Chain A
Amino acid sequence: MKKHLLNPVTYYTRMRDMINDLAEKYNDQPAISWFDKKKEETIVSYRQLCEDIKYLQEAMIEKGLAGKHIAIVSENCYEWLLVYFAANYCGSTAVCVDIEQSDETIKYMLSAADTDAIFLSPAYVDVCQKYANNRIPQFLMYGKKEGYQTVRSLIETGTTIWLDGRACTTMDATVTPDMIASIVFTSGTTSHAKPVMLSQSAILTNASDALANVKIGMRTFTSLPFYHTYGLTCSVLSMLIPGSHLHINGNLKTVMRDLQLSQANTLLTVPLMLEMIHSKIWQTAEENGQDNNLKRLFKIAKFTYSIGIRKTLKSLDAIRKKSFGTINLVICGGAHMNPEIMEQFQYMGVTILQGYGITECGPLVSVNRNEANKLESVGLITANCEVKLNNGEILVRGKNLMTGYYNQPDLTNEVMKDGWFCTGDLGEIDKDGFLYITGRKKNLIVFKNGKKLSPEKLEEKIKKIPIVQDVLVYGAANGISSDDVQVAASIYPIPDQIDGMTSYEILEYLQKEINAINDTLPMYQQIQMINIRDQAFSKTSLQKIKRHLV
């Protein structure tokens, strides 16, 4: 196996050490930026960031919030990060609430994490009030609302405490690396959200591990939600540790505008955004009658790449500038990314590095490297993380692992086996050490003959049928015993594509296509049942089908 040298990177075990060190190292360099409605940019330096955090934590201590569970119910904003860091600075746990969930689920999350105080943005006043019911303190991230103190006013309080010489001097000795930094909820394709506890040291080790594998640019952009570990660990902490200038956005309405305005060179995102950019490129080409020309350009690029010429064609570079602005490196995770799209972006001069992570692991387990990138793979295992395969299932061990599920020891014991976390994902590792995800263990179809099938493999083939929007392959009961199954496919067609077709015509067309796929499969794997859905599948916020709801 070829050894790849790790990039040099600083490791921290406590959030407060990292914050103090960053302020000292990068001082007046820009740390975080965002754009308002009028495209005006606000820039905060590393020194300012550190001061805001320190003053905010002083106010938190005065309010009796040190060592407590502090929920953040807000879209991405600078204050989100201040509250998170300030909470960790004074040994509190940040409860990171997924705000795309229903009111009921938000209330469940606040309750499941035993929330002691809530920091919320104006859009969540009602739902938080319903939960808090004046029992627990609430603070507003920004804006104005009668009866609510804002983060800004808390910072002012903290500044006064500091200037009066009343700052807390004992906290540094109290905060330890194993303190829980975050309680984060898994999005869960197969079960309900579970509260994952991650320690300060687990998250920080994971953030530095990401940098040991990936060299990022010095202007970075993220629109990933901070309440997901991928958003917080990889797209915030990993970007701040080397002193990059991080542009944040939490609004899909302005994400493409801000991406261009930021002039960033590194983007962290999920496949959905890349697929959207990709389809827009092709849509524009078609509208201008240039689609055949574009196909030809990619063909030429493919050929030149195959003979080792890595220079981007001028026309493709122009498309890159229009679609991606100054971005030349994209780190993509959260779901499977289509390698064909990655290949086309590569020819345009944009490198896509795919990674693999899971909330319980901090989240990062593996990521491709700038100089060692395999498009089909999710990359090389990170430095402080070990991976082994048990009957194909990926097991993970390392400093990045969660402490457990909050208040759910039985559930924790179910997934931890002798110090290894059982991911439930199936994978393979090649001779060079690259990891490949082949499916989900829980989705496995087990046949009477003892053979198993990952439905994802078949789903990928079926998804290539032009009229298929989404598909779910499963084992349909065929007899008395549970393993007596036949392979079935539930298909949701693209509404526009089947416009004017009768149900019979749709089924006939699909059957013909599926027969062709069946011809390439061993007998037991062949799809024997097709059902057509008239409603789309329910999906998680990362656009994965919720299998347990089907």
Chain B
Amino acid sequence: MEEKIFKYIQDTVCEITGNKNLLMETDFVKDLRLNSYDIMNIVCAFEEKFDVEIPNRDVWQMRQVKDVVAYMIQNGMTEV
């Protein structure tokens, strides 16, 4: 399941930012240099896809791709 979710994150990030090279350890700010607006655009895509609201406070806790994967599994966002 993790792999499927990872692939979904990779596609979404690529669609919005053009970044293709993602690893589980990739840090959105340090490695991809995304600013707060880029991150929020990605979050909006997630919210739309899963019809949920992700609190901003939760967003800032997720620094790496693996944090997002864990968050999605924890919150039942697995139908990718």
Contacts and interface: CB of A to CB of B under 8 A. Distances in A.
Nearest to B53: A37
Interface in A73-117: 75, 99-100
Interface in B40-74: 40, 43-44, 47, 53, 55-58, 60
Contact of A536 (B33, B37, B56): B33
Interface residues on B, range: 20 to 34
A252 B59 CA distance: 11
A276 B35 contact: yes
B18 interface: yes
Contacts of A273: 37
A495 B37 contact: no
Contacts, number: 42
Interface residues of A, number: 20
A251 interface: yes
Contacts of A535: 30-31
A501 to B, nearest CB: 14
A26 interface: no
B19 interface: yes
A272 B36 contact: yes
B23 interface: no
B80 interface: no
A192 interface: no
B24 interface: no
B32 A251 contact: no
A518 to B, nearest CB: 27
Nearest to B38: A276
Contact of B56 (A37, A123, A272): A123
A123 B44 contact: no
A82 B75 CA distance: 34
A243 to B, nearest CB: 31
B43 A536 contact: no
Nearest to A492: B33
Contacts of A252: 36-37, 39-40, 56
B76 to A, nearest CB: 20
A253 interface: yes
B29 A536 contact: yes
A368 to B, nearest CB: 25
Contacts of A100: 60
Contacts of B33: 469, 494-495, 536
A272 B39 CA distance: 13
Contacts of B18: 496
A461 to B, nearest CB: 21
A447 interface: no
Contacts of A469: 33
A434 B30 CA distance: 37
A272 B35 contact: yes
Q: In this complex, which of B36, B37, B43, B53 has the most chain A Cβ atoms within 10 angstroms of its Cβ?
A: B37
13 contacts: A75-B56, A99-B57, A100-B60, A124-B57, A252-B39, A252-B56, A272-B35, A272-B36, A494-B33, A495-B31, A496-B19, A535-B31, A543-B35
Interface of A: 37, 75, 99-100, 123-124, 251-253, 272-273, 276, 469, 494-496, 499, 535-536, 543
